[in-house]
């Protein structure tokens, strides 16, 4: 996992898959967005003092809204600033867990046999909304990779897979056997959300 996060940090990129159907049509300013569905699985690791515990992977469904803004210096390459959010519906929680993701990215366009395709890579920061809010820190890393196809001009269908790992840090009172306060210790809850999603996107260019 450390090697995986190192790869994310070294890339520092986020992709948005939009496919070129005709040459030179995507150069310049880019603005777009989309929404899709995702199949997800979530797992939490809890660490405090000498204890480490992991729950079972929890499968669920999700929504994947996203927006992007950027610039294409050529018809083969995009630089993107994007925000994606995964809404995870699963497990015992009555409300969804919300995983906002923000980052920078790139998309590369090429022709595979006879079909114009685009491959995206992404990396950036994320956090978690939907758990208790008495934490002192809530931030983590995430990444996406994607493949897209433009079915009509401006309209593309994208397949994305990704991992989001927000880490929540809680400050807990340390007390002795008599119940007297004896300082603080930190408890760490790391969420691992793995998902694959299919989305429909519209891009202005």
d(CA 32, CA 199): 13
pLDDT at 163: 92
Whole-model pTM: value is 0.76
pLDDT at 27: 77
- Which pair of structure tokens corresponds to residue 123? 């990396």
pLDDT at 4: 41
Per-10-residue mean pLDDT for the chain, 205 residues long? Answer: 40 36 63 90 83 84 90 88 87 75 89 80 88 78 90 87 90 67 76 89 84
d(CA 183, CA 165): 29
- Residue 52 makes CB contacts below 8 A (sequence gap 6+) with 45, 46
Burial code (b: 16+ CB inside 10 Å, e: under 16) for 94-133 equals eebbbbbbebbbbbebeeeeeebbbbbbbbbebbbeebee
pLDDT at 9: 37
d(CA 149, CA 17): 8
pLDDT at 17: 39
Residue 187: exposure state from Cβ atoms within 10 A (0-12, 13-18, ≥19): middle
pLDDT at 135: 78
pLDDT at 125: 92
Domains of the chain: 2-204 (2.40.160)
Give the residue from 139, 165, 185 showing the smallest Cα distance to 47.
185
pLDDT at 94: 62
Helix %, strand %, coil % for the chain, to 5?
5, 70, 25
């Amino acid at each position: 996992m450390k090697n995986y996060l190192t790869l994310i940090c070294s890339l520092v990129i986020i992709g948005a898959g939009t496919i070129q159907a005709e040459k030179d049509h995507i150069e310049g300013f880019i603005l777009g967005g989309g929404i899709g569905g995702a199949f997800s699985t979530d797992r939490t690791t809890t660490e405090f003092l000498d204890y480490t515990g992991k729950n079972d992977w929890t499968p669920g469904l999700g929504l994947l809204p996203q927006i992007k803004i950027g610039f294409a210096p050529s018809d083969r390459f995009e630089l993107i600033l994007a925000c994606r959010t995964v809404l995870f519906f699963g497990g015992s929680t009555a409300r969804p867990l919300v995983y906002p993701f923000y980052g920078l990215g790139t998309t590369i366009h090429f022709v595979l046999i006879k079909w114009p395709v685009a491959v995206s890579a992404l990396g950036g920061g994320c956090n978690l909304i939907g758990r208790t809010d008495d934490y002192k820190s809530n931030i983590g890393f995430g990444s996406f990779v994607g493949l897209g196809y433009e079915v009509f001009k401006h309209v593309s269908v994208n397949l994305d897979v990704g991992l989001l790992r927000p880490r929540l840090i809680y400050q807990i009172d340390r007390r002795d056997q008599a119940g007297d306060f004896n300082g603080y210790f930190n408890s760490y809850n790391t969420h691992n959300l793995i998902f694959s999603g299919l989305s429909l996107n519209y891009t202005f260019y």
